[in-house]
Amino acid sequence: MQKVLTTADVSPRDRLAYWHDVACKVFVNHECRLEGPTNFRATIHHASFDQLEISRVESDGLRESTRNARGIPHGEDNVFFLCAQLSGTSIMSQDGRDDAMGPGDFMLLDAQRTSSNFFPGPYGLLIIKIPHRAMKARVASSSQLTACTMSGATGIGSLTSEFMIPERLDDLTPTARAQIGEQVLDLVALALAAERGEDRPALSSARAIALLRLRTAVERRLSDPGLDPATAAASAGISVRYANALLAEEGLSIQRLIVQRRLERCRLALSDARQSHRTIGDIAFGWGFSDLSHFTRRFKSVFGCTPSDYRKQQRA
């Protein structure tokens, strides 16, 4: 990861102003307050997984940061923050909930809604920016998932926490980063689904499990042109009506989910230099589309350009 900010070369009396102007206004728009004016040190390292942006923040002395309605530009920062605690402790609040994180734990926050963070001492934090579209393709209503600590000590949370730490990210090709980014999102979705229980205001555990089975069934057969709502629902052991009711809470249907996930797989293939020998039609048919013109229209409506133009952009 590349170091993009450090206060080490700034006079102690100017460090808060420097942090405020750079980290609090450029990295993400928010207000921050320090416990004291001196002895403040902070660094930010940055890297990317295709559509995901990853930052590692290490700081001491930062007492509180707040993101309020005035600091949320309309139409900007349309992302979630997946925050993973590397060291120290964080206490984060959003949507009427607040929870604490220790090393290995992680939490989801929505950049489009007000939040506040409290750091009682030195800390290290990994922050992954995830586009709303990418996260909402995998999980239910985000307002039910924010500011809820997921333990990195056991189960799927442990695997997710370990997988998120980008130890050798710089050694990977852009295509490999994109593929790993998809896997990170899938793991996060699994962890969120596992975390939702009867005491959560989100889906009941039975509905969450059914939704997870449905999404798994869709992912497993994306390349099969015969995949349709009936076969997807049957593979998950539920009815089409019930499956659509589950997905409706995310603004989706089975058919839209299938198309959405196929388009994302095609996008990754088009950006993969190792697949440059494949025609656009071969890629589209390989991921279950049966009509090239239909695929082209759908791709353009989602990504803003035709598949051929997208491939040219990636090559450039």
The domain boundary, picked from 143, 169, 195, lies at: 195
Please indicate, yes or no, whether residues 216 and 263 belong to a single structural domain of this protein: yes
Please indicate, yes or no, whether residues 185 and 309 belong to a single structural domain of this protein: no
Domain-embedded: residue 274: yes
Please indicate, yes or no, whether residues 229 and 272 belong to a single structural domain of this protein: yes
Domain-embedded: residue 180: yes
CATH number of domain containing 164: 2.60.120.10
Residue 251 is predicted with a pLDDT of 82
Q: Reading across the β-sheet that carries 31-34, which strands appear in turn?
A: 31-34, 62-67, 115-118, 90-94, 97-101
Please indicate, yes or no, whether residues 140 and 214 belong to a single structural domain of this protein: no
Please indicate, yes or no, whether residues 61 and 176 belong to a single structural domain of this protein: yes
Residue 130 is predicted with a pLDDT of 86
Domain-embedded: residue 63: yes
33 close to 16: Cβ distance less than 8 angstroms: no
Domain-embedded: residue 200: no
The domain boundary, picked from 133, 166, 195, lies at: 195
Domain-embedded: residue 70: yes
Please indicate, yes or no, whether residues 38 and 69 belong to a single structural domain of this protein: yes
9 close to 20: Cβ distance less than 8 angstroms: no
Domain span at 120: 2-195
Q: How far apart are CA 130 and CA 107, in angstroms?
A: 13
Please indicate, yes or no, whether residues 220 and 170 belong to a single structural domain of this protein: no
Please indicate, yes or no, whether residues 41 and 176 belong to a single structural domain of this protein: yes
The domain boundary, picked from 130, 165, 195, lies at: 195
Please indicate, yes or no, whether residues 263 and 175 belong to a single structural domain of this protein: no
Please indicate, yes or no, whether residues 251 and 185 belong to a single structural domain of this protein: no
Please indicate, yes or no, whether residues 270 and 209 belong to a single structural domain of this protein: yes
The distance between the two most distant Cα atoms of the chain, rounded to a whole number of Å, is 65
H/E stretch holding 4:
strand 2-6
254 close to 244: Cβ distance less than 8 angstroms: yes
Sole residue written with tokens 């013109």: 293
Domain-embedded: residue 101: yes
pLDDT values of the chain reduced to their tens digit, one per residue, 316 residues: 778 888 888 887 787 778 777 776 656 666 666 555 456 788 888 887 767 888 888 887 666 667 665 545 544 457 888 898 989 998 888 888 888 999 888 888 888 888 888 888 888 988 888 888 777 766 655 566 788 888 877 666 666 766 666 555 666 666 666 667 777 777 777 777 666 543 333 444 567 678 778 888 888 888 999 999 999 999 888 999 999 998 887 788 999 999 999 998 899 889 888 888 999 999 999 999 999 999 999 999 999 999 999 999 988 7
Domain-embedded: residue 25: yes
Q: How far apart are CA 117 and CA 97, in angstroms?
A: 12
Q: 3-class DSSP state for residue 47?
A: strand
Indicate the number of domains in the chain: 2
Please indicate, yes or no, whether residues 178 and 252 belong to a single structural domain of this protein: no
Sole residue written with tokens 């403040």: 40
Domain-embedded: residue 310: yes
CATH number of domain containing 290: 1.10.10.60
Residue 13 is predicted with a pLDDT of 77
